[in-house]
């Protein structure tokens, strides 16, 4: 028991030390600009968790990051590096918007169907890369990255194609005909995820993300699919010798990863933005990569890392307004944290193999 606890503490020391190093280097960057690192970081944390409103904003920013982080985590544990969470998030948001605007069933069915449509769209967007990887061995990094651009262009077209004009635009167009801007109409109340606590801006999207963390953890640790996924991710050749269907497991992993990323887009639309615009959550899929890495590819770690990065996003503007330190510092802190985590993990792995 004590040995297990010690191993956990050693693993936790890696991201903690990485984040500490990132903040120290960030402090140096702030100091070179003539600002006070202490004042800047105090403003950053005040904007992230200074009061209930700030905490609510942090949770709101963290919610989609939890889901995209889980998407990357699940894929990586199964031996696939899903760089396409960005595109899967986009098509998930588009599908949720389309269903939410068209569904006339009583609440809460429009919201439930919109979330389901988002997850299904994300899985469908991951199907082709999954098939190419499983059947032909095509590198999924390339195919998913290319599909991100396709999804972004598809969204740019959809928010400019009037809804209900007939033809292809009538089926897939999302633009509100009554608006000159490229955006959809606002979702009806029945298609939105409700608030769950009136004291702070906290909606049911956070509960969906928490449920996803629990489900992914149970799948990875308590199911035969999770066992097969871990074996295939560690050694596909040994998995094949053991009788595990490698191709089917790879495809299932990619579909599940895409579904989580698509759900992230759907939650963002149904819980927060209530309409879709061009670049409605730009970078949300890519941000799942550092969330998964800093979270050590563990569902619980992903949750903690997402809250941390969500807090950085929430406090960035407060820091810039209070001290003049640009909000872009947050991106630098994120990048430094990734480098530090990867470096520490690599050093540890080499020491373990020597």
Per-domain residue ranges of the chain: 50-325
- Compute the half-sphere exposure of residue 69: CA atoms within 13 Å on the CB side of its CA: 33
Q: 197: helix, coil or strand?
A: strand
What 8-state DSSP symbol labels residue 271? I
Of 73, 88, 86, which Cα lies nearest the Cα of 123?
Answer: 88
Question: In this predicted model, what pLDDT tens digit does every residue of 40-58 receive, in sequence order?
Answer: 889 888 888 888 888 988 9
Q: Please state, in angstroms and as integers, the Cα–Cα distance from residue 348 to each residue in 11, 107, 302, 344, 345, following that order.
A: 10, 52, 20, 6, 5
* pLDDT tier, 34 (very low <50, low <70, confident <90, very high otherwise): confident
Instruction: Tell me the backbone φ, ψ of residue 166, rounded to 5 degrees.
Output: 90, 165
Of 96, 74, 95, 77, which Cα lies nearest the Cα of 85?
Answer: 74
Question: In this predicted model, what pLDDT tens digit does every residue of 140-160 receive, in sequence order?
Answer: 999 999 999 999 999 999 998
Instruction: Tell me the backbone φ, ψ of residue 50, rounded to 5 degrees.
Output: -75, -25
- Give pLDDT, residue 200: 75
Question: In this predicted model, what pLDDT tens digit does every residue of 117-140 receive, in sequence order?
Answer: 999 999 999 999 999 999 988 999
Do 169 and 234 contact (CB within 8 A), yes or no?
no
CATH of domain 50-325: 1.10.3470
- Give pLDDT, residue 127: 96
pTM of the shown model:
0.91
Do 227 and 219 contact (CB within 8 A), yes or no?
no
Q: 175: helix, coil or strand?
A: strand
Report the percentage of the chain scoring pLDDT > 70: 90
């Amino acid at each position: 028991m004590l040995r297990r606890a010690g191993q956990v503490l050693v693993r936790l020391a890696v991201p903690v030390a990485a984040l500490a190093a990132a903040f120290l280097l960030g402090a140096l960057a702030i100091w070179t600009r003539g600002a006070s690192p202490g004042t800047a970081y105090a403003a950053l944390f005040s904007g992230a968790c200074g009061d209930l409103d700030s905490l609510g904003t942090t949770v709101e920013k963290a919610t989609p990051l939890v889901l995209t982080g889980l998407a990357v985590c699940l894929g990586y544990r199964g031996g696939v590096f899903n760089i396409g969470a960005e595109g899967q998030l986009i098509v998930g948001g588009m599908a949720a918007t389309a269903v939410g605007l068209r569904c006339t069933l009583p609440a809460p069915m429009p919201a439930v169907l919109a979330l389901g449509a988002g997850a299904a769209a994300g899985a469908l967007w991951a199907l082709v890369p999954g098939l190419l990887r499983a059947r032909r061995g095509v590198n999924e990094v390339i195919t998913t990255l290319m599909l991100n651009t396709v999804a972004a262009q598809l969204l740019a077209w959809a928010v400019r194609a009037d809804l209900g004009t007939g033809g292809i635009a009538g089926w897939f167009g999302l633009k509100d005909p009554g608006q000159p801007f490229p955006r959809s109409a606002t979702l009806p109340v029945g298609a939105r995820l409700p608030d769950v606590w009136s004291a702070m801006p906290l909606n049911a999207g956070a509960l969906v993300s928490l449920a996803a963390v629990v489900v992914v953890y149970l799948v990875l640790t308590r199911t035969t699919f999770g066992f097969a996924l871990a074996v295939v991710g560690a050694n596909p050749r040994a998995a094949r010798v053991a009788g595990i269907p490698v191709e089917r497991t790879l495809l299932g992993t990619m579909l599940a990863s895409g579904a989580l990323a698509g759900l992230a887009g759907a939650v963002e639309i149904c819980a927060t933005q209530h309409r879709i615009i061009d670049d409605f959550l730009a970078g949300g899929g890519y941000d799942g990569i550092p969330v998964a890495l800093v979270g050590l590819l563990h569902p619980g770690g992903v949750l903690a890392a997402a809250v941390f990065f969500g807090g950085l996003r929430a406090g960035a503007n407060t820091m810039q307004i209070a001290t003049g330190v640009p909000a872009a510092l947050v991106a630098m802190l994120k990048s430094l944290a990734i480098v530090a985590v990867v470096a520490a993990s690599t050093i540890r792995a080499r020491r373990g193999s020597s």
